[in-house]
Amino acid sequence: MTYIASANRYEKMPYRRCGKSGIQLPALSLGLWHNFGGVDVFENYRKILHLAFDSGITHFDLANNYGPPYGSAEENFGYLLDKDFRSYRDELIISSKAGYDMWPGPYGNWGSKKYLVSSLDQSLKRMKLDYVDIFYHHRPDPETPLEETMGALDHIVRQGKALYVGISNYKAEEAKQAIAILKQLGTPCLIHQPKYSMFERWVEGGLLDVLEEEGVGCIPFSPLAQGVLTNKYLNGVPQDSRAAKQSGHLQTNQITPERIEQIKQLNQLALQRNQTLAQMALAWLMKDKRVTTVLIGASKPEQLADSLKCLDNTNFTTEELNHIETILQNKP
């Protein structure tokens, strides 16, 4: 059955300008980190992608090693792009990344020019694309000169294999240096992708200021703290949760009694706002104009539909913001 996108897909989604660029991104972007790999159910993630685009989400975010297995999220996305979205390609912002472990040996990780150029070539083949819209260096490499890594990003744009470049997981000072090198090379940094949520606030210690000063966009990932900022953990750690599975990114010992108490108090405030905790957590990130778009995941279409409802109420009173800081044991 041929997929035809909703005719009113752009009516409800707000779009924000990405730094000082010509690009506008949807308030919510869809990440394919989990649930789109070779181990996942095809019809499920196909429905998620359809709902996303029908709702005005034009930005799909991938990386070379998303799966599992590595590369399978890009392969699956490429297949669906070919089947369902080929006629909409020019309405989409598709991003990928390299910087973490991808293949064996010294050229399958980190930040060398050899790795970044080779990795993007592989990603383009998997997704059946001539170019990606954004290509990121996924994390800083302490061993490779920053000039080489940023030079590789510049080279990739000049090859026509990416329209824009970005960085991810760079601290404020590292980001400032990377942005300066790219500017000097003539390929400005479009966007930075940091981990940021109510429970992960390191970006407020200078990085957001750097991005604002330099005219670079910001796309937080893990905005729900791997599911902790949802109603899933209100009564402890459920057996089927990511924390119970000890999946590497979220451990049971991170869900402390103190954390559960914070979740309960935040949930009460969300209910007063006629939102779920997840919806409030997403809206809380959007309150900062330096945040261009928030990167969300989804395990099923219903979860995505629930997240989209955060757009119904993105305003906070001073009292609500102060109350959140009190719950989080920060000074309002």
Is residue 67 assigned to a domain? yes
Is there a domain that residue 332 lies in? Answer: no
Residue 143 above 80 pLDDT?
A: yes
Tell me the per-residue pLDDT of 126-141, one tens digit each, with 9 for 90 and over.
Answer: 999 999 999 999 999 9
- Tokens 């019809």 belong to 43
Chain-centroid distance of CA 125 in Å reads 22
Find the domain containing 288 and state its range.
15-227+281-313
Beta-sheet strand order (sheet of 217-218): 217-218, 189-193, 162-168, 132-137, 93-98, 59-61, 28-31, 294-296
Buried b (16+ CB within 10 A) or exposed e, 169-202: bbebebbbebbebbeebebbbbbbbbbbbbbbee
| pLDDT value for 332 | 47
- Rounded Cα distance between 301 and 27, Å, is 18
CA 16/CA 134 separation, integer angstroms: 16
In this predicted model, what pLDDT tens digit does every residue of 233-277 receive, in sequence order?
888 766 665 555 555 555 556 788 899 999 999 999 999 999 999
**6 lies in a domain?**
no
Q: Is residue 242 part of a domain?
A: no
- pLDDT confidence of residue 243: 54
Distance between CA atoms of residues 164 and 214, nearest Å: 16
Task: Classify residue 289 as exposed, middle or buried by CB count within 10 Å of its CB (0-12, 13-18, 19+).
Answer: exposed
Q: What is the mean pLDDT of residues 16-39?
A: 98
**Structure confidence by residue, pLDDT tens digits, 165-224:** 999 999 999 999 999 999 999 999 999 999 999 999 999 999 999 999 999 999 999 999
Residues 6 or more apart whose Cβ sits within 8 Å of residue 174: 140, 146
Tally of domains in the chain:
1
Q: Is residue 250 part of a domain?
A: no
Of 30, 38, 167, 53, the residue nearest 111 (C-alpha): 167
Side-chain-side CA neighbours of 49 within 13 Å: the count stands at: 27
Q: Which CATH number characterizes residue 191's domain?
A: 3.20.20.100
- Mean pLDDT over all residues of the chain? 95
Three-state SS at 78: helix
Residue 274 lies in a domain: no
Entry field: residues in the chain? 332
Q: What is the pLDDT of residues 53-101, one digit of tens each?
A: 999 999 999 999 999 999 999 999 999 999 999 999 999 999 999 999 9
Q: Classify residue 9: in a domain, yes or no.
A: no
